[in-house]
Amino acid sequence: MSLSPAVRVARTAAQRSRSLLQAIQFGHPPSCPCHSNPNHHHGPSVFGEARRRLATPIDHSRSKEYAFEMAASSIRFGPGCTKEVGMDLKNLGATRVCVVTDGNVAKLDAMKQVVEGLTKENIEFTVYDKCRVEPKDYSIKDAIAFAKPYNPDAFLAVGGGSVIDTAKLMNLYTTFPEADFLDFVNAPLGKGLPIQGKLKPLVAVPTTAGTGSETTGTAIFDLVDKKAKTGIAHRNLKPTLGICDPINTRTMPSAVHASSGLDVLCHALESWTAIPYYERSPRPANPIQRPAYQGANPISDIFSMKALRSTVKYLPRAAKDADDFEAQSEMLLAATLAGVGFGNAGVHLCHGLSYPISGQNVSYKHPGYQIDSPLIPHGVSVAVTAPAVFKFTGPSNPERHLEAAAAFGKDVSQVKKESAGEVLSEALAEFLVNLGDQPRGLKALGFSEGSLDDLVEGTIPQQRVLMLAPRLSHEVNEEREQIPLLRKTLEVDEKKGLSPEELLSIIPEYEALLVRSETKVTADVLKAAKKLKVVARAGVGVDNVDVPAATKLGIVVVNSPSGNIQAAAEHTIALLMSMARHVPDSSSSVKGGNWERSKFVGVEVKGKVLGIVGLGKVGLIVARMARGLGMTVIASDPYASESVATAANVTLVSSLAELLPQCDFLTIHTPMLASTRGMMSATELNQLKKGARILNVARGGIIDEAALLEALESGHLAGAAIDVFTSEPPAKAEPGSGLAKLIQHPNVVCTPHLGASTIEAQENVSIDVCEQVLQILQGHLPRSAVNAPIILPAEYKTLQPFVRLVEKMGSLYTQHFSQGDRTQDGKRQGLGQQRTTFDLIYEGELAGMSSTKPLFAALIKGLTSPITDTESSSFNVNIVNAEMVAKERGIFVNEQKSRDPVMQAYSSLVTLVARPPSRAPSLSRPTSGHNNKEAAIAGLTATSNKPDRREKQHIISGYCSDTTPFISRLDRFATSFVPDGRLLICHNYDSPGKIGVVGSILGREAVNINFMSVAPASYKGNSISSGEAGPTLGTGAPAAAITGDVRRGDTATTPIPKEAAEALMILGVDREVRGEVVDELIGTGGVLSVSSVVL
């Protein structure tokens, strides 16, 4: 499953802890900085590229590795062989030796034997015994400072991996004393310079069975100020000799046995599952530049699997029984075997994740280690993530993961390939539990959610090993760069390798989902996503998203239709030239040692006719490029603009039948629709001139692949270049099938859907969809919604503030007008009737908009939101499903565009008219075009036939000043207020003292008045003279759920002055006003009604 980053607004600490591994994986955690190399990809191999079936994509534009090398230190293994070390150094010509160890090992028998051996051979030596377990940069520098003045001619390391690594670096920087410390440190944290020249002899005597450092050219340490582990990796760092004496490991405490053994376990598993050497690129120009860590190869596989099986068998025994000498000996041998394996193949995710985990430890002290300072042993930090890591990598090579699971004793004979990672993960988890005293998860190591960012940042710099891990593609690199866009305002989870069931189980928590092409967003997933507002596809096609289901649920589906158009166009031209000049085949021929110039005679494209089917954005760029090559360009596209085509020097023809016979080359650039599926069938292909060539960098299935194969085999077509297939990947095609034959045809150039595969394109689409997600979650209009109308950028900018306004108008109508009447005793006389027939009239600039659907959607949301349960699945009304919700609720909206000029200072006015229920229009959303406003008004006012005041139409008008919405009319009353917050709307007689009376009553109740607007009755009856509109998203529920409260005065007890003018008093208040207070306001006399509105 491809990368499916998801977005949510809040999550629990437990959930964030569980997602940490995915977050670091997304940031490209890979391997140990010192157990790998920066050059990863590899070329085809005689040892079985097809057999591994890796998910890591192959970049065919780069030269692939075709060879591997095996290198390791000389190893002597056997009980008691430590006593030979003096003779070994003498044989190497050493006369002045620096012995490197730590304070604990200095007291052990191994050190005693070393001293005796050197003394016996009369070799001068000095001892440095201040090595730090898990060395830091400052401890390494201290050791170097000790060695430089002594200037030894050889080094002898006695201890564990930390000691041996320290000795390697002492050797390096005394050989090159003028070098800066960061000169050789792995990039990007250091300069990554190669080690030019041999170092002094180094003999390593390991006293632990874990790191295998005696066999490798790596040394690791912490860069403290970067909060990251890094190191130096070069084959010249390898010890000259490794003396592996099982007796030296007998003094290891049980906890050290376990931790060291877990390091061996992960060395073996990671090198076994690393990408193969032939996937690394570019191939070095000179063999001396071939890196030490090259990816898995057939020889490293032997060492890695043997080490894995031995570790599974002997580590539990070695850790639990201090007297089990056989187990201890076998573990030392396993460590050495694993060292040869990973020393050439490399490690990946477990080690990459471990470095920030151990380097950023604050307080954790592992049980069984007699230390004063916090320490997460290296093996523990590696193994804590192993179950999750191998569950993630499982799909890259199920066979290898199942073979590894079998090494743990699992019966895998009936296990399906898709479960390989899960089975290995479970085997590892059981092994760790049975081993005992191993932390379960990062929380057990003392990390909290506040540590996440630093852990991610500590992993990302491990550039040397990023590409050794399977299932990590270049797309993730581009997406990782865009995640900060979302993290600035949202909680972001990045998840890879989710099964459909896992996605279904977690999706209810999320408000946005970002996916690439392989993640299937099904109807079941969408139904389960109770909070989901947007699905974003980082690319063009949305074949993997159930768009109709999303539309029904009001979930916006967005894509990035223009982020990769340049890349697709350039790839089209690249394929065109490759096909014309036989570039792929001729390149393979030369690489095969041949020189067949006459076999690969091509054709020039200058003067040839290029036919383009689909003159959209990609087609136009292809046309311009082709014109630059001197081609004549013709195109068929019923929707293309004649003027745009002319400007690009393209001749438009009326049909395919007219286009095809003229083409020397034909390229397809249409979307996949019902009308374009199989568009290039045998009939169309036969219409092409004999010897023509065809390209498809659009969508698989547009060309009938069986018909294309027949045209090529018959010789009617001279060639085809295909980037997209009906079924992808086509490698799944049955051998001997038509698709398999098409791919293998000598006149076909194939690429694996690379049209958008450029660094720039991946970055562009990632940024585009992330920005759209942010906009949608902030309530703005989408730019590229697949299931919503296209809005031109200029119109989008104009509509945006009105979306909010129109929603407010709809909500104001529902809360203010559709309420029940109450007498002074609070009894309801009858429910206000919710109108279902509305007219929405646009004046001014809005009247010229080509699409006002966002405003329609905003109205439906505003009308329904106040009477809808927020937990309802239909609460998410928006531009996508507004028409569907309106039909379900029987709401009819007639949109009208007035030709009358706006006479006020604002540019646009929107008027909402709620018709009485005497009649209803036949359509839910007819747009009546441009009408004379007076005619529209006449039609509206004529709909009221009954004398009852509630049968009159209700009118609300509004406008926007900059981006701030204002209500300018409520029925007969002219006003100007911002529809926001809690409002009290008092309908009263306009007589002196009313403002003071209302203010004093509210003040007594400690209700603060934020603003007040007095609206006089300025319109005769309920005739229309202006209005306003806006946009947004929402849904509705039964009328009985009406919010807000309206109370009307009892005219039997309230004196009504003759010829009294009426007015509205709109007050913004800071809290809900109690019912008793509303009754008192009405009871003062002259207040006809009070409504409480929340906007």
Measured in degrees and rounded to the nearest 5, phi and psi for residue 369 equal -100, 125
Eight-state DSSP code of residue 132: P
List the beta strands (DSSP E) in 778-917: 821-822, 828-830, 837-844, 892-898, 908-914
**Distances 532 to 526, 684, 773 between C-alpha atoms, Å:** 8, 44, 11
Query: Of residues 728, 934, 1072, 1076, which has the active-site annotation?
Result: 728
Structure tokens at 393: 């990598």
Q: In the annotation, is 753 catalytic?
A: yes
Report d(CA 2, CA 7) in Å as an integer. Answer: 16
Distance between CA atoms of residues 248 and 41, nearest Å: 40
For residues 829 and 854, the answer to whether their CB atoms sit within 8 Å is no
Catalytic residue among 348, 669, 699, 969: 699
Is 517:540 a contact under the CB 8 Å cutoff? no
Query: Contact at 8 Å (CB) between 207 and 11?
Result: no
Amino acid (1-letter code) at residue 6: A
- Token look-up 């004093």 returns 1000
Chain-centre distance of CA 188, in angstroms?
A: 24
Strands of the 512-515 sheet, one edge to the other = 491-493, 6-8, 512-515, 534-537, 556-558
Which of 35, 753, 972, 987 is catalytic? The answer is 753
Is 918 within 8 Å of 946 (Cβ atoms)?
Answer: yes
Q: Strand (E) positions, 831-907?
A: 837-844, 892-898
Q: Does residue 895 have an active-site annotation?
A: no
**What are 408's two structure tokens?**
């743990």
| DSSP β-bridge partners for residue 840 | 895, 912
CA angle, 595 as apex, 589 and 599 as ends, to 5°?
A: 75
- How many Cα atoms within 13 Å fall on the side-chain side of residue 740? 7
CB atoms within 10 A of CB 62: 12
β-sheet bridge partners, residue 911: 841, 957
User: b or e along 670-709 (b: 16 or more beta carbons within 10 Å of the residue's beta carbon)?
Assistant: bebeeebebbbeeebbebbeeebbbbbbbbbbbbbbbbbb
Instruction: State yes or no: is 699 an active-site residue.
Output: yes
- Would you say how long the chain is, in residues? 1095
Cα angle: 1017, vertex 1021, 1022; to 5 degrees: 95
Task: Give the DSSP H/E element, type plus range, for residue 96.
Answer: strand 96-100
Amino acid identity at 632: T
| Residues involved in catalysis | 699, 728, 753
